[in-house]
Structures are given as C-alpha cells and as structure tokens.
Amino acid sequence: MTKRLHRFKGGVDLDYHKAESAGVPIRSAPLPPRLIVPLRQNARSVAHGIVTAGEHVLKGQRIGEAEGVLGTAVHAPTSGTVIEVTEHPMAHPSGLDTHCVVIEPDGDERWVALEPLDHRSIDRQSALNRLREAGVVGLGGAAFPSHVKLGSGTGVDTVVINGAECEPWITCDDRLMRERADQILAGAAILSDLIGAKRVLVGIEDNKPEAIAAMRAAAAAQAAPIEIVAIPTVYPAGGEKQLIRVLTGIEIPHGRLGTDFGVQCFNVGTAAAVHRAFALGEPLVSRIVTLAGNVERPGNYEVLIGTPVASLLELAEPRADTDRYILGGPMMGFALPDLSVPVIKGTNCVLSASPTLFPRSKPPLPCIRCGECARACPAELQPFELYWFAHSRNFGKAQEYHLFDCIECGCCSYVCPSHIPLVDYYRYAKSEIWARERETRAADGARERFEFRNFRQEREKAEKAAKLAAKAAETKAKLAQTETAPAPAPTEAAPQSEDDAKRALIAAALERAKQQKAAAKPKNTEDLSAATLAEIAEIEARRKALGLSEGDAGDVRPALPTLPGPTTAATPPAPPGGDPEPLAREDRP
Amino acid sequence: MIQSPYIRKPASVQRVMFTVLLALTPGIAAYVWQVGAGILVNLAIASATAVAAEALVRRLRGRPIAPAIGDLSALVTAWLVVLCFPPIVPWWVTVVAVTLAIAAVKHLYGGLGQNPFNPAMVAYCAMIVAFPSLMSQWPPAGGLDFATQLDLILGGARNLDAITGATALDALRTGLRGAESVDAILRQPPFGTLGGRGWEWIAAGYLAGGLLLLALRVITWHMPVAFLATLAATAGAFWLANPAQFASPLFHLASGGAMLAAFFIVTDPVSGATTPLGKIIFAAGIGLIAYLIRAFGAFPEGIAFAVLLMNLCVPLIDMKTQPRVFGHRRGKSP
C-alpha cells in the first residue's frame, strides 16, 4: 500500500460538508405516486419506447429499446401501469421536455424473471450486450454507456474505479463504498475482465476513512488484484482525468480517450451496477441519491429512476428559507428549473440551497490579472486570458488558448477575488463556437443542396430539350405525311434545322390553345338571373363608354397605395418568414 | 442556464488591496522611525487625492463610484507613489503625481485592471523629469525634525544644502564621477552597513511586508526572486570585475527602492506578466535595466524606468510564455 501518487496542478480546498449526510445508512425512498421515466438517457441517444398507455409492466421490464451506438435499454423501475407516454421536462439546465413513460406503481414491486449470468461463460461481445440491455451507464454524472467505454478497450492494462467523490455535500458514493464494498469490487473485477486489464486501482479521497477501511477489508477478501488507494483531498480529484493522473501519472488530453493510454475509469456506483447486471440479472432501475444542504434530515436514499425530485425532497424536509434546489454538487451542479423533473441515472445529489448557505454572488469587478484562477486551474489553463477572449467574443483566440480543455470544474470562479463568473464565460464561448460550427455545417449543406439543385435543373432542362427535339421531329414527320403533294415542305426538307422544329412546335401549340379557348366557356355565366344579366350588360356598356376593350380589362389593377411616410417607404417589405435564403429553404429536405 | 459554482471563496479585490496596504506598514513604520513622521502627512495627502481623483473620474465616466473607492486599489497606488518620492517633497507635487497616476495612467486606459503601465512608476518618472531638483532632495535619516519636514511639505522655503543630503545611490554616483573609489565613498556619512544609513531599516521593513505577501499567497515568488537575483547577479558581475568602480550587490539590494520594488511594484499584477516563466523574464528584465541605469544612466535610481520599459514588453512576454496545459506536454502523448 505504499503506492507513489502523482499530483495534478491546481485545485482548491473546500468546505466539504460531508458529515451531514454521510452518517446515516442508505434508506429506500418510498414509492412515489407516479414515476416519470425518460426515454432519453444521454445527450445523444433516446431509447425507442415499446410500451403504450394502459399496459401493465413489471419491475425491470424493458420499456425502451436501445437504439444507436450510444443507446442503452430503459426499464420499468417498479411494477405498475403505464399511464401515458408523454413529453415531460427533464433534469437538465434547459428544462426542455423529453419523451417519458409515466408509470403508476401498483405497490407490489414485482420483478420480471431475472436471469443471472456469469460473464466468463459468454464471449465479450455478449457480455457487453448484457450491459447495454441492462441499461448500465456511468453513475458518476455523465451517464455515458458503460458498454461503449468497455467496447473500445484493447490494450487497457489499468481499470480505475472512481470513489473520490470530491464535490462537497455529496456522499452517495461514500455510503455505497461503506455498505456495498463487495458489490463494487465484484463489479470492478468484471469490468477488469471485460476490458482485459491487469490491475484495478480504486481511488478514494482521504476524507472518507470509513469508506477506505470498508473497501480495503472487502479487497483483502478478494483474489483479484485490486488496490484501494487513499488520495489527497483536493477538489477536483474526482475528475476522471485528474484521478487517472493522480493514480497512474498519465495525462489524458482533451479529445483523447483513456483507452489510448491504457487506462479506463468507472465510477464506484457503475461498478456496483455492473455486478448486479450479471450476478443478479438486475437492470439498472435505481441509484443512490444524496439529499443535503438546507434540510432537516439529510441522508442518502436508494431512489427509483423516474422518481420526481419534488417527492424525493419531502423525505429530507427542506427548511423554510430554501430558495433553490441544485442538482449535483455546488461546484458543478445546476439549479433545477422545475421540481417535477425525475431522477435519472446521472443524478447523484439534490441540494437545497438557501441564501445563507449558498449566497448569491456579488457583482463582479474588473479582472486584476492576479492569476489566482491560473493557480487553481486543474487543466493548467490561463483562465483570465480565456475570460478576456470570451468577453471580447474572440472565440478563435479562446480556442487557441485551449478553451475546450476546460472541464468546467468551477475552481477559477471559486477563487476569483473579482467575483467574475468565469466558468459562465467559458460555457458561453463553447456554446457559441458549437453554434457557429453547426451554422457552418448547415451552410455547407445548404450550399451543396443548392449546387445539386442547379445541377438537377440543368439536367432536367437538357432532358426536356432532348425530349422536345424528339417530339418536334415526330410532329414534323406527321405534318409532312398529311400535307404530301399539294404543299411540299418549302425546300431542303432533308436537314431539319432546330428552328423549323421549334416553329412547328409553336404552331402546333398555338393551334391547340386556340381550340382550347374555343372549347372553354367563361365560368359563372350559366343560370344567371335576369337581373344579373342586366347588370352585366350595364357594366359592359359602361366599360365601352370608358373606352376599355374586353381584352385589357383584366390588366387594370388598382394603383399601389402610396406608402405613408418616408420611413416605411424606405424599408422594403420583409419576405414572409424573414428567411433571407428562399432558395436554400425550398431545397431543405 | 448553469451558474455553478454556487460557492465562492471569501476573497475580494478589497481584501487583496487591504493585504497589500497592511504589508506596507512595516516599511512605513521603519520610515517614521528612521526618517520622521513627515511621510505620514504625505500619505494622508496622497490618499485623499487618490480617492478624490478616483471619484471624479468615475463620475465623469458615468460609472458607480462607491465600489471603485471600496476596492482600495487607489489607496495602494497613492501609497506607492509617496513611498517612492522623497519624504519632504512639496504637497502639490504629491497631488499632481497621484492625480496623474489615477486619472491618466489608470482611468484613461479603462480603469482598474486595464492599465498597461504601472501608475505609480509613471507618476515617479513624470515628476523626476519635470521637477528633477525637488525629486532629488532626500533628507538624511534622522536629519530633520517633524516640524521642519511639515514646513517643507507645506511649501516652506528650501535651504537645500542645510536640509538635504544625497541619497546613497546619489552619493555613490557623484563620488565616482569625482574619481573616488567605492571604498572611500562608502565610508562617508550617508552610508550605513549595507546601503544608505537608516534606509537599510526601511528596506528591511519592506522585505518583511513582502514575505507576508508571499506567505498569504497574494504574490508568488517568481517576481521578487527574479528581480532581486538579477539585480544582485548583474551588480555582482561588475563588482567582481572591478570592485573599485562598482558597488557590491548587497549595497544595490539594500539601496534605493530595490526592496519596495521587489515586493510591491514589480509584482503589480495588472501591468506585469502573468505566466510563471513570463513573470521571471519580466522581473529579471527590470532588475537588469534598473542596474544598468543606476550604474551607467543619467538617473541615480533606474527601477521606475525599468518597470515602464518592461511593461511595454508584457504582451509579448505573455504570448510567448504560455504554459502547456494539462495533457499537452511535449513527449507525453503516445
């Protein structure tokens, strides 16, 4: 146990407030009256719903099928009846709606038939599929599908299990390690097998001595080469890259995967879920959630996925002066726009915030370039430079200064003596850059479609011309046949010029039009009453008097009304919808 | 909209500036003890001027006044101006200098955090160019009582020869022009054990305050160490080459504004370099130029000019010394 640890630069010391919720054992949250299970499980994939309203489901029954590379299955968290499949706000800062299955529990908690499986008895691909079908995703917060993380793995020799839990207030991993260390280690062993690793390192911050002791005791009983490592308590030691750095010395740059460096990282909760998916055959339908902050009864609860946050909060009894609820920790979480949102697989904590506990930030002062942020940045960036570039919307320069290496841990904002919301600027700059890239892509797409349209129109024109030429030739031939002797073709019939063909065509068309005109009758002129007929006659008479012939009567339009005032006259009317590119719009699929 | 983090370290610009003012007090105390309480009068005049100038300019710029006064940065500028100036400089010189520093050097560039030049150093350079004789009248340590100092500050008649002596750096320069050897000069009255008599204590006070700033992590070691080391190394090289013609490194460290500059002026974050390597280059540049001006230039003290020259180089230094970010170290990625 004398492992040489590495360090990452930066980081901050915080008031961790772990004791409030870490002392109480995990309790099961009671069944809420309704469970709202989102089919969307991460930013890039939505499961395909396979249940309809009125259907009865069992606990663990699949209600959403995995779709796409990043897809995982979704399961009913308890037995009950599907009330509806509807749009419901999700636990996301945007508060946007997503497809959700609403289940009314029947209170029986009746499981589907579970099929435990030994991962060693099947091939790797089947084992990964089991995780996909069991809906196992990263429980550390990002909810990235575990089978995808494992799937890319060859040449990985180290599995890092993340028990650092560096965010203040959150203790769900701490309690899990204290109470279910054997499950975590069994899961870690499976993960290690599946990825072909030689060793497992479990990193736990040294402010959790009970968890370290429990994990060490469980590790001692295991045959697998699992090492429990106490790491210094520095926020954000639980960041994946920071933890890998501390335990192995490897630095994974932005945009690269751990597997490229022979290391892959999983949260302790994920490891436990992997164990349950195999040993018990249980899909992931619940997780541990910390309730803490400005509450009377902080603690950790085993919560069914889909439990509305509002009904969960009742268990902790938030105090009267609570003004906001934060999902996640105070450093990286977000204030919930709506308490009806359900707990999802990445939800680790619901914090009740009060103005005294989490004071609103003071008005920012100018940056004095003191460099505190640079000293605190675990990504070793120069945050004040990035701030400057983001502030002046110089996004290219911000990217040059590695904006996208920022992990948004919040250390810079935390230490800034000028109270500048630095991370907000980086989030803003990133989203602006993404939006621009999307725009560029859309513009490229539009240009391509436009160019293809032009090409298509040219082609169609050519085809039409060819068709016309053929038809003209035919007509000409026909004409030549009917007017044989009396009117021979006016000399040189042999080389049919294109002009002749056209002329013939025009003549034929004119003839057709004449016939049509003769055949067509003016509409609305039948069955008119005598009075109406008289009226019409009167009007015609007036017209004649005015000197208008029948033909150009239709061309007389009322003069455009004079636009009032110079301002409106100067502005051309905007096209409907304000779309400056009608062509591009028309060509949109 | 995510607005995390929801917790903040109890830090503020005000706290930073207050710490700097606090760290100046040992030096000021030594000043009062060794030279006299006249400096306190100057500090009061400068502080009042700074607050008034700050408020006036903020008002003209249509910005709220209270937070700018509250951040104490104007006071830091004012105090540094005073501590660089001779303690018996007439009150109006102080007023003009502080107004220049706050209104022109700081606010014409956009206010707090925006000025490319160190306001106190611009004020010093402007005054020494404009009023060379007033800015060169330093009383010998303990040579003037408070009443005389006050009288001079308030614009009393100046019988220069009676009241002022040369500073250590000045005396050295004049002596060397007169082809005396350093050893002979240093035995003259203005000189103490290390530098100017009495002024050594003031330098020690600044050193103590600087160590406090280091301990409280208001400043990092890079700039003071690089500045003092370069000043000492350059002085040492010349001294070893020709001890009769050049003073020792210790003399240079203890004389003039070396200690004040090392911990309070070079370290100004706004106008200085910000990257670790950049800070070292910036401060080393100041140390080198300051020595060259002291030894070969037209002014006895060259730190202020050196600071301004290096301020000019800051954008380049910062741009060329950006540290590698996490995971981007050379030779580490496969």
What confidence tens digit (pLDDT) does each residue in A274-285 have? 999 999 999 999
Three-class DSSP category at A411: helix
Question: Which domain-ending residue is among B137, B165, B193?
Answer: B165
pLDDT for B196 equals 66
Reported ipTM: the value is 0.88
pLDDT for A553 equals 43
Query: What are the tens digits of pLDDT across the range B258-282?
Result: 999 999 999 999 999 999 999 999 9
Query: What are the tens digits of pLDDT across the range A363-390?
Result: 899 999 999 999 999 999 999 999 999 9
Q: Does B86 map to a domain?
A: yes
* Residue B330 in this model has a pLDDT that exceeds 60: no
From residue A509, give the alpha-carbon distance in Å to each of A472, A482, A512, A564: 11, 18, 5, 46
Q: Does B176 map to a domain?
A: no
Which range, of A433-437, A479-483, B145-149, averages the lowest pLDDT?
A479-483
Same domain flag for A293 and A415:
no
What whole-number distance in Å separates Cα of residue A530 and Cα of residue A8? 99
Confidence band of B246 (pLDDT split at 50, 70, 90):
confident
Q: Does B223 map to a domain?
A: yes
* Residue A585 in this model has a pLDDT that exceeds 50: no
First to last CA, chain B: 37
Which range, of A378-392, A475-489, A544-558, B239-253, averages the lowest pLDDT?
A544-558
pLDDT for A573 equals 41
Q: What is the mean pLDDT of residues B243-260?
A: 87
Q: What is the mean pLDDT of residues B94-115?
A: 94
Q: Does A565 map to a domain?
A: no
pTM: 0.80
Same domain flag for B90 and B196:
no
The residue count of chain A comes to: 589
Q: Does B115 map to a domain?
A: yes
Question: Which domain-ending residue is among A461, A476, A491?
Answer: A476
Same domain flag for A257 and A320:
yes
The whole domain housing B204 covers 181-319
Q: What is the mean pLDDT of residues A290-297?
A: 94
Highest mean pLDDT among A353-357, A483-487, B153-157: A353-357
What whole-number distance in Å separates Cα of residue A396 and Cα of residue A433? 9
Give the CA angle between residues B326, B330, B332 to the nearest 5°: 75
Which candidate in A254, A326, A413 is best for mutational testing of the B interface (most B CBs within 10 A)?
A: A413
Question: Which domain-ending residue is among A289, A322, A350?
Answer: A350
Peptide bond into B5 cis (omega under 30): yes
Confidence band of A567 (pLDDT split at 50, 70, 90):
very low
Contacts of A353 in chain B (CB under 8 A): 6
Q: Do A251 and B326 touch (CB under 8 A)?
A: yes
Higher pLDDT, A100 or A153: A100
Three-class DSSP category at A287: strand
Confidence band of B162 (pLDDT split at 50, 70, 90):
low
Confidence band of A37 (pLDDT split at 50, 70, 90):
very high
Same domain flag for A372 and A337:
no
Same domain flag for B202 and B109:
no
pLDDT for A555 equals 44
Higher pLDDT, A13 or B167: A13
The number of domains in chain B is: 2
Q: Does B1 map to a domain?
A: no
* Residue B86 in this model has a pLDDT that exceeds 50: yes
The number of domains in chain A is: 2
pLDDT for B184 equals 66
Same domain flag for B22 and B157:
yes
B182, two tokens: 């350093």
pLDDT for B333 equals 43
Same domain flag for A410 and A334:
no
Query: What are the tens digits of pLDDT across the range B40-51?
Result: 999 999 999 999
Same domain flag for B185 and B234:
yes
- Rounded to 5 degrees, what are φ and ψ at A191? -55, -45
Same domain flag for B139 and B197:
no
Q: Do B8 and A380 touch (CB under 8 A)?
A: no
pLDDT for B272 equals 95
Confidence band of B153 (pLDDT split at 50, 70, 90):
confident
Q: Which of A239, A233, A267, A268 is nearest to A251 (CA)?
A: A239
What whole-number distance in Å separates Cα of residue A379 and Cα of residue A390? 17
Mean pLDDT (chain B) is 88
What whole-number distance in Å separates Cα of residue A383 and Cα of residue A398? 10
- Find out whether A36 and A100 touch, Cβ atoms under 8 Å: yes
Same domain flag for B159 and B202:
no
Taking a contact as any Cβ pair under 8 Å apart, which residues of chain B between 6 and 45 contact chain A?
A: 6-9, 11-13, 15-16
Confidence band of A560 (pLDDT split at 50, 70, 90):
very low
- Find out whether A171 and A198 touch, Cβ atoms under 8 Å: no
The whole domain housing A380 covers 364-476
Same domain flag for A377 and A262:
no
Same domain flag for A144 and A202:
yes
Which candidate in B1, B4, B9, B321 is best for mutational testing of the A interface (most A CBs within 10 A)?
A: B4
Contacts of B16 in chain A (CB under 8 A): 368, 370, 417
Counting Cα atoms < 13 Å in the Cβ hemisphere of B121 gives 28
* Residue A489 in this model has a pLDDT that exceeds 70: no
Same domain flag for A146 and A290:
yes
Confidence band of A589 (pLDDT split at 50, 70, 90):
very low
Burial call A495-522: b when 16+ CB within 10 Å, e when fewer: ebeeebbeebbeebeeeeeeeeeeeeee
Tell me the pairing of strands A349-353 and A324-327. antiparallel
Which range, of A126-130, A172-176, A255-259, A564-568, averages the lowest pLDDT?
A564-568
pLDDT for A38 equals 93
Which range, of A235-244, A484-493, B136-145, B201-210, averages the lowest pLDDT?
A484-493
For residue A74, what are the contacts with CB-CB under 8 A and spacing of at least 6? Answer: A37, A38, A39, A41, A47, A62, A63, A64, A101, A135
Of all residues in chain B, the percent with pLDDT exceeding 70 is 87
B323, two tokens: 């540290």
From residue B152, give the alpha-carbon distance in Å to each of A54, B124, B128, B139: 97, 19, 18, 11
pLDDT for B316 equals 96
Contacts of A330 in chain B (CB under 8 A): 4-7
Same domain flag for B156 and B251:
no
Which range, of A289-293, A357-361, A500-504, averages the lowest pLDDT?
A500-504
Q: Do A370 and B269 touch (CB under 8 A)?
A: yes
Question: Which domain-ending residue is among B165, B192, B212?
Answer: B165
Confidence band of A571 (pLDDT split at 50, 70, 90):
very low
* Residue A173 in this model has a pLDDT that exceeds 60: yes
The size of the A-B interface in CB pairs under 8 A is: 137
Q: What share of chain A is helix, strand, coil (3-state, %, to 5)?
A: 40, 15, 45
Q: Do A380 and B220 touch (CB under 8 A)?
A: no
Same domain flag for B161 and B196:
no
- Find out whether B278 and B321 touch, Cβ atoms under 8 Å: yes
Same domain flag for A60 and A204:
yes
Which range, of A92-96, B139-143, B203-207, averages the lowest pLDDT?
B139-143
> From A384, which residue of chain B is nearest by alpha-carbon distance?
B274
A298, two tokens: 């902080």
Q: Does B231 map to a domain?
A: yes
Residue with tokens 């699992």: A226
Q: Do A331 and B13 touch (CB under 8 A)?
A: no
For residue B261, what are the contacts with CB-CB under 8 A and spacing of at least 6? Answer: B227, B286, B290, B303, B307
Tell me the pairing of strands A334-335 and A324-327. antiparallel
Higher pLDDT, A74 or A257: A74
Query: What are the tens digits of pLDDT across the range B206-220?
Result: 999 999 999 999 999
Same domain flag for A337 and A456:
no
Of all residues in chain A, the percent with pLDDT exceeding 90 is 61
pLDDT for A41 equals 74
Question: Which domain-ending residue is among A448, A476, A504?
Answer: A476
What whole-number distance in Å separates Cα of residue B232 and Cα of residue B111? 35
- Phi-psi region for residue B295, left (φ > 0), alpha (ψ -120 to 50) or beta? alpha
Q: Do A414 and B323 touch (CB under 8 A)?
A: no
pLDDT for A282 equals 94
Question: Which domain-ending residue is among B107, B135, B165?
Answer: B165
Same domain flag for A197 and A60:
yes
Q: What is the mean pLDDT of residues B236-246?
A: 90
Same domain flag for A418 and A342:
no
Q: Do B13 and A382 touch (CB under 8 A)?
A: no
pLDDT for B129 equals 92
From residue B124, give the alpha-carbon distance in Å to each of A152, B127, B260: 64, 5, 14
The amino acid occupying position B233 is A
Same domain flag for B122 and B216:
no
Taking a contact as any Cβ pair under 8 Å apart, which residues of chain B between 111 and 170 contact chain A?
A: 111-114
Q: Which of B79, B78, B87 is nearest to B39 (CA)?
A: B87
Q: Does B315 map to a domain?
A: yes
Same domain flag for B43 and B147:
yes
Same domain flag for A373 and A320:
no
The amino acid occupying position A65 is E
